[in-house]
Structure 1
Amino acid sequence: MGDRRALETRLAVVAGFENPQARLEQYPTPPDIAAHVVHLADLQGDIDGRTVVDLGTGTGMLALGAALRGPARVVGVELDAEALSTARDNEQRVGTTTPIHWLRGDATRAPLCDRTVDGSGTTVLMNPPFGAQHGRRGADRAFLRTASELADVSYSIHNQGSREFVESFAEDEGGEVTHAFGATLTLDRQFEFHEEETKDLDTEVFRIRWT
């Protein structure tokens, strides 16, 4: 098991979106947050030897972090072809040896089999859209539903104040929130409607065990 700060350093080379799309809420996951989530998952035994799926992988930050911690395989699912191309380039930058399958598709309708057939187990890592853009309300709900269908356990990043919703959703789908903690995402200005060069966004991270 590696050191969290060493993992963050490895992920610092990951390039972000060249042409981020506001409608898809394409904000990069900062390397410190990605390292924190992946390290926690590793401590819980949710990475090593398992299949890890990054839903809405973007440019691959969470998938690449997981790939550095000894999973059997990693799958990154992303709708945006340009982002997937950057993710493949990032794989070369990071230099992982674990097989990573970059799959273009809608993460809310992921073209993947339910759970794994080899008994290794499946972990979902994701930083889903928060539903902040017009017409995207509840976007993270669809990602959680996919996670409940694919995974034994998932880790997801949500807007601050989401705990009641996440716990209720998990309970309805036969899951249980086992861990929750706050995290601050520092985001650089990406879109014209952003008024500040950087903004700190308060979020919450949840580990859910699915049955």
Structure 2
Amino acid sequence: MATKSALETQLAVVAGFEDPRADLEQYPTPPELAAHVVHVADLNGDVEARTVVDLGTGTGMLALGAALRGPARVVGVDVDRSALETAVANRRRVGTTTPVGWVLADATRAPLCPDGPTTVLMNPPFGAQNGNEHADRAFLATAADLADVSYSIHNEGSQSFVESFAADRGGEVTQAFRATFPIDRQFDFHEADSEVIDTEVYRIEWSA
């Protein structure tokens, strides 16, 4: 198994959004965070030889990270056609030979029915925009329907919500860790050139 730092280096070539949309909270997942999430999932046996689905894949950072760790196949789902076009180009940059499919669809209504062991990796919207509060709830619901295990990145302070939601759907949080999420200025409402957000990553096992 390649090291986490090697995976981070491979993902450093992944391009971000050409024209990010604030309403979709399109912030590129940092390669160091993506590498961390994928590496932990791989160590837990949740990547190799499995189907990996990246809900709200954006330009493909988590999907391509997983594709470099020997899954059976990877599927990235996003509602933004432009982002998926960048994801296709990013796959060529990364150079993975794993079968990767890109699906243009609402990630919270993903038209998928995976066959066999399935892992969801996702960086859902934090719900920071007006009208987008609790956006991660719909992503978790979709993960519960599609997968037997998921990894998701949430805003700091989400533990009670995530554990309660998982329990209501027959799931269980089995692992959690904190991570930082650097964000560069990309929208007019950003006051600083860069900001670091404290986040939490949760592994959830979903019952069949």
| TM tier relative to shorter chain | over 0.9
**Correspondence 1:7 to 2:23:** no
Instruction: Give the TM-score normalised by the residue count of structure 1.
Output: 0.97
**Correspondence 1:185 to 2:181:** yes
**Separation (CA, whole Å) in 2 of partners of 1:112 and 1:186:** 31
C-alpha deviation, 1:2, in angstroms = 1.3
Secondary structure in 2 matching 1:82: helix
After superposition, residues 166-205 of structure 1 pair within 5 angstroms as 166-205=162-201
Structure 1, unpaired ranges of 5+: none
Following TM superposition, where does structure 1 have runs of at least 4 consecutive aligned residues deviating by more than 3 angstroms?
A: none
Structure 2, unpaired ranges of 5+: none
**Correspondence 1:62 to 2:62:** yes
After superposition, residues 129-208 of structure 1 pair within 5 angstroms as 129-208=125-204
**Separation (CA, whole Å) in 2 of partners of 1:15 and 1:4:** 19
C-alpha deviation, 1:196, in angstroms = 0.8
C-alpha deviation, 1:209, in angstroms = 0.4
Tell me which residue corresponds to 1:33. 33
Counterpart amino acid of 1:21?
R
Instruction: Give the TM-score normalised by the residue count of structure 2.
Output: 0.99
C-alpha deviation, 1:128, in angstroms = 0.1
Secondary structure in 1 matching 2:175: strand
Aligned alpha-carbon RMSD (Å): 0.5
**Separation (CA, whole Å) in 2 of partners of 1:61 and 1:160:** 21
**Separation (CA, whole Å) in 1 of partners of 2:133 and 2:201:** 19
Deviation digits for residues 49-95 of structure 1 (CA, Å, limit 9, x no counterpart): 00000000000000000000000000000000000000000000000
**Separation (CA, whole Å) in 2 of partners of 1:192 and 1:96:** 36
**Separation (CA, whole Å) in 2 of partners of 1:190 and 1:51:** 33
C-alpha deviation, 1:205, in angstroms = 0.3
Secondary structure in 1 matching 2:153: strand
Tell me which residue corresponds to 1:106. 106
**Separation (CA, whole Å) in 2 of partners of 1:98 and 1:167:** 33
C-alpha deviation, 1:138, in angstroms = 1.1
